[in-house]
Amino acid sequence: MDVHEEIIPLLMDKYGLHQIRAKPEKMHYAFEIPGIPKEAEYLKVLLPYQTPKNKDKPLPMDLESETFSKVFGTNQNIFESFVVQRNIMGPCWLTIKNCDFHALQNTSHCSVEVAVPRANCVSVSKTNDPAPSLNVLCINVQPMMNGKQGKQEVGSVSIALYKNLPQDAPVDENLKPDELVTLVRPAGGSVALPAGLTQLARQKEI
């Protein structure tokens, strides 16, 4: 209660809030700072990511006073906080409720984008279905020396796409990509492609 009475009014004033959710909770610590007990009771404070004042100014990690000596999690980003709270461990199936399919457009590279009103609308699915497969894109960049400028530059870029690879099973080392593209540019500012490239490309044509 001493920590609560000291820190809450300061946070409300700093961030322009009318109320703040806080409660005591036992926490475990497993990092490198000396003097921190492995388990202790802390004051857990929940702050919104969007605040009326100072939303881009987190509390300093070295903040201390008469009632507390350490502050944790002040720089935790919103994605890290979300996946930890919802217990989302790596790629998995999710159950998403109260979806709005029109609120978001072109905010990511995902084919489907949805917005939910609260974090607890997203939970790990209890289905026994196998983990979803992945499409994997491999990029290989080959440098070359530019003799005139005396520095490395990009000579070619190869892109290989593997579709529907399993997450939880080994992949054959000799697996051929579903799609393969190689882009080559003239070397060292020359207008000519590397010698023999055209003949080699014809041999590799499918």
Specify the 3-state DSSP secondary structure of 76. Answer: coil
Q: Which residues, including other chains, have CB under 8 Å from residue 107's CB and lie 6 or more apart?
A: 113
Task: Note the pLDDT of residue 23.
Answer: 92
> Residues 51, 17: contact at Cβ < 8 Å?
yes
pLDDT of residue 45 exceeding 70, the answer is yes
pLDDT of residue 81 exceeding 70, the answer is yes
Task: Note the pLDDT of residue 16.
Answer: 92
pLDDT of residue 147 exceeding 80, the answer is no
> Residues 25, 46: contact at Cβ < 8 Å?
no
Q: For the chain, what percent of residues have pLDDT higher than 90? A: 28
- Span 112-121, average pLDDT: 92
- Span 10-29, average pLDDT: 90
